[in-house]
Amino acid sequence: DYLIQYGYLQPPLEETDGQFGEAEMAEALRSFQEASELPVTGWLDRETKTRMAQPRCGLQDPFNQKILKYLLLGRWRKRNLTFRILNLTPDLPPQMVRDALHAAFDYWTAVTPLSFREVHAGHADIRFFFHRRRVAGCSHAFDGPGKVLAHADIPEAGSVHFDEDEMWTEGTSRGINLRIIAAHELGHALGLGHSRFPKALMAPVYLGYRPDFRLHPDDVAGIQALYGKKSRRKEEEEIQELDLETIEPPSPKVPSPVPDPCKGELDAILFGPHLKTYAFKGDYVWTVTDSGRGPLRRVSTLWPGLSGSLDAAVYSPRTGRIYFFKGDQVWVYIGFKLEAGFPRRLVHVGPNLDAALYWPLNQKIFLFKGSGYWQWDELAWNDFSRYPKPMRGLFTGAPAGLSAAVSWKNGGIYFFKGSSYWRLNRQLRAEKGYPRDTAHHWMHCPPRATGIALPNGTDTSSG
């Protein structure tokens, strides 16, 4: 029950006998033990039982792929938020409750550009509420003293609830420290999931009162991945770098030839953060807009540590991560900053992928190779044993052996192969009138002399 409740075991959607296999159970126990820094035995041993009995947060631990540290679940689109304390706990004097909740905000405002203002009536973005068991207005019941201490909604919902059956305290190791739990639940309310670092504030299990409590570097990295640093100068520099950085640093390795955006096929295409579209070919990348294309730059000048000749690239608005694939490796960037620990080896999906895209309708990432695809949920355990599946089972009228793919700002999915591209609708069916010429329609190159007619009948023989 514990493994299901906190997301380590997922009841299968198709089979309904409700029984988990021994191997499945052992795997779930191993991932729980790994995440809890317990000896990884795969058995329900005494240490594991003890850890499961400890008080903790009510949210799941959808630890992803064993590669991630902090986990991002959402984001507020504004930086200045309001909050309201709907009721107080009788466990502490009213002013101490308020001070503890205000102090919880201070941990996050110290490291981000976020600001919080208390309101005493009407709507507030974040709402604190103490309740017992099941109450109207909350879909999650509490469980009496111990075990689950609190729960919260991810952005942009804003509920932060505390279990009134706990003894809320401040300044003592008796009971449960309201300030630390409030800071943890605010982490969720701001968009963070659970951390795999057991000493992080965002770890799922409550570690008890610590007089010298501080955020863990993983907590800071997580919240800054969502909202940037306290001083926003650095973040703005990173964004502007795109438009200013034209000088390439000297490179010891022999550069690949500068590609011609009007010829041949793309390695990858990325619809990235800030609604920018990047095209990749060889060691070079350039931006594509509705009116033209930017200058060619070395890939490594924008994304330090990333080599060229990529297989695939995809940006996930769900987690804010950019994934680059090449050979049997994956690189993860937030913006233009490489995440610690990357590149890593691809384990569950094939090497030498053809293309990757994010599908907003189900918030999954699709990876393509040959005539097959994998569907990947970044925030859940994935059963990759059923993949790769044949593309033709899901995509109609689309080619196999893609060179690049992207789901773009207009909602369309685009497949690239050779010098052509296809547009797919929401039913994943290739639309009429495709394939078209990538160089002309995406790269703003002059139309080719091969007789592709323009809608207005412009002469196509020039250029």
Least Å from the CB of residue 2 to Zn ion: 15
380 by Cβ neighbours in 10 Å (0-12 / 13-18 / 19+) ranks as: middle
Question: Looking at 53-61, 109-117, 303-311, 432-440, which segment touches Zn ion (CB under 5 A)?
Answer: 53-61
Interface pattern 154-193 for Zn ion (x via CB under 5 A): -------x--------------------------------
Q: Is 138 in the site for Zn ion (CB under 5 A)?
A: yes
Query: What is the secondary structure of 377-406 as a DSSP string?
Result: -TTS---GGG-SEEGGGT-BS--SS-SEEE
Distance CA(219)–CA(212), nearest Å, equals 16
Least Å from the CB of residue 213 to Zn ion: 16
> Tokens for 27?
């795997």
Least Å from the CB of residue 335 to Zn ion: 26
Residue closer to Zn ion by CB (options 71, 391) is: 71
For tokens 């384990």, name the residue.
347
**To 5 degrees, how large is the angle CA 37–CA 39–CA 40?**
95
Question: Looking at 134-142, 286-294, 402-410, 435-443, which segment touches Zn ion (CB under 5 A)?
Answer: 134-142
* Residue 185 is among the residues annotated as catalytic for this protein: yes
Q: Which residues are annotated as a binding site for Ca(2+)?
A: 91, 125, 143-144, 163, 166, 267, 269, 311, 313, 356
Whether the CB-CB separation of 4 and 12 falls below 8 Å is answered with no
> Tokens for 3?
């493994």
Distance CA(229)–CA(193), nearest Å, equals 19
The active-site residue out of 164, 170, 185, 378 is: 185
Interface pattern 24-43 for Zn ion (x via CB under 5 A): --------------------
In sequence order, the 6+-apart residues with CB closer than 8 A to the CB of 309 are 256, 267, 282, 283, 326
Residue closer to Zn ion by CB (options 153, 267) is: 153
> Tokens for 341?
């620990």
Question: Looking at 93-101, 153-161, 358-366, 442-450, which segment touches Zn ion (CB under 5 A)?
Answer: 153-161
Say which DSSP state 273 is in.
G
Distance CA(383)–CA(381), nearest Å, equals 7
Residue closer to Zn ion by CB (options 186, 299) is: 186
Least Å from the CB of residue 272 to Zn ion: 30
Residue closer to Zn ion by CB (options 161, 423) is: 161
Q: Is 59 in the site for Zn ion (CB under 5 A)?
A: yes
Least Å from the CB of residue 181 to Zn ion: 9
Interface pattern 276-315 for Zn ion (x via CB under 5 A): ----------------------------------------
Residue closer to Zn ion by CB (options 180, 353) is: 180
Residue closer to Zn ion by CB (options 88, 138) is: 138
Least Å from the CB of residue 184 to Zn ion: 6
Q: Which residues are annotated as a binding site?
A: 57, 91, 125, 143-144, 151, 161, 163, 166, 184, 188, 194, 202, 267, 269, 311, 313, 356
Give the residue at shortest CB distance from Zn ion.
57
Residue closer to Zn ion by CB (options 151, 318) is: 151
Phi then psi dihedrals of residue 306, to 5 deg? -100, 130
**How many binding residues for Zn ion (CB under 5 A)?**
4
- 33, 321, 182, 104: CA torsion to nearest 10: 130
93 by Cβ neighbours in 10 Å (0-12 / 13-18 / 19+) ranks as: exposed
Length of the chain in residues, anyone?
463
The candidate with the shortest Cα–Cα distance to 259, out of 300, 299, 291, is 299
Are β-strands 115-118 and 80-85 bridged in parallel, bridged antiparallel, or unpaired? parallel
Whether the CB-CB separation of 358 and 316 falls below 8 Å is answered with yes
Least Å from the CB of residue 141 to Zn ion: 8
Q: Which residues are annotated as a binding site for Zn(2+)?
A: 57, 151, 161, 184, 188, 194, 202
Distance CA(185)–CA(107), nearest Å, equals 12
Q: Is 445 in the site for Zn ion (CB under 5 A)?
A: no
Sign, CA dihedral 72-78-79-82, equals negative
**Near Zn ion by CB under 5 A: residue from 9, 28, 29, 57:** 57
Whether the CB-CB separation of 315 and 307 falls below 8 Å is answered with no
Catalytic residues: 185
Residues that bind Zn ion (CB under 5 A): 57, 59, 138, 161
